A and B are shown apart, each in its own frame.
Chain A
């Protein structure tokens, strides 16, 4: 699971860069202003960060603390 989380983090990070760069336009408004792509960049990087947090939880014993 940790590997999957890390792969997803990298994928979202790269997707964010591609959105910010304007190289991809999936799920964007056609002819949209630049700000819309920045929104996608931010969302992708937030998802990448969450994947890294998920990986962090996978890297330690799963027993919960009280």
Chain B
């Protein structure tokens, strides 16, 4: 992997991890589209590189929501010490994040390896990207139907615990390359009466521990001798992914104040369909 490829992949990861367009799908499809034969996704050096990108993205999310994470951590510790739940907003959000993260973790541990083995090629990634777009259209349509009768939106802290679990399960579907972590959990949040801004906010908070854990648990991959080959690329890539992720979350939080998921749905449908066509024709492999 060249330095230029490393930076390009890092920027792609940082942006596509948070935009509802699937980072996993893009990191399969883009190298295939550009015929980067030297980027071997299963090589130890590439896996180590991906770990650093995840850590960069997670740290960017923590930095963006630093005050909120501090308040949540304080509130959670206080409630455990007290042994009782309170109506504190940060505590309520914190426990919902804990409950929502459990299914993602369990699904990830059980299904990550077989899913990667079965679907880690361009054609399935293209199909799932197309499905991701259709899910966003369906989610938007259902949300509009739900709220046509004047039903009010909820704040994040009023989500029920079952709803938090189901949003977590939805996020677990992002193991499938092409299904977006933020997109699918935003759609689930919309269906549980969050507005777009709160659905995006909750989705990014819920993604943070998952992305961070994905990076931390894979740190041993950084210790293999082959990983040292990409040391410079890894450090530069981690910083680039972090900057891209920070700017992406800042942009998206402004975007979702007054916009919806449909432009991303169109993007996923069009890119997914074209990529599937190219994969079927053998143009990308």
- Closest partner residue, chain B, to A57 (CB atom): B83
Q: Is the interface of B mostly helix, strand, loop or mixed?
A: helix
Partner of B98, one of A27, A29, A50, A59: A50
The proximity string for A residues 37-51 relative to B, scoring 1 for CB distances below 8 Å and 0 otherwise, is: 011101100110010
B84 near A57 with CB under 8 A, answer: yes
B86 at the interface (CB under 8 A from A): yes
A42 near B102 with CB under 8 A, answer: no
- The CA-CA distance from A29 to B83 in the complex, in Å, is 38
Q: Which residues on A are within 8 Å of B, measured CB to CB?
A: 27-29, 32, 34-36, 38-40, 42-43, 46-47, 50, 53, 56-57, 59-66
The proximity string for B residues 83-113 relative to A, scoring 1 for CB distances below 8 Å and 0 otherwise, is: 1111100000000001000100110011001
Q: Which residues of B contact A66 (CB under 8 A)?
A: 86-87
Pull 24 A–B residue pairs with CB atoms less than 8 Å apart, ordered by A.
A27-B109, A27-B110, A28-B113, A29-B113, A34-B220, A35-B217, A35-B218, A38-B220, A40-B109, A43-B105, A43-B106, A43-B109, A50-B98, A53-B80, A56-B80, A57-B83, A57-B84, A59-B83, A61-B84, A62-B84, A64-B84, A64-B87, A65-B85, A65-B86
Q: Which residues of B contact A53 (CB under 8 A)?
A: 80
Query: How many A-B contacts if CB must be within 8 Å?
Result: 49
- The CA-CA distance from A61 to B102 in the complex, in Å, is 25
- The CA-CA distance from A66 to B114 in the complex, in Å, is 46
Q: Which residues of A contact B220 (CB under 8 A)?
A: 34-35, 38
- The CA-CA distance from A27 to B95 in the complex, in Å, is 27
User: Smallest CB–CB gap between A1 and chain B, Å?
Assistant: 14
- The CA-CA distance from A34 to B80 in the complex, in Å, is 33
B54 at the interface (CB under 8 A from A): no
Given contacts A27-B109, A39-B109, A43-B109, contact A63 B84 (CB under 8 A): yes
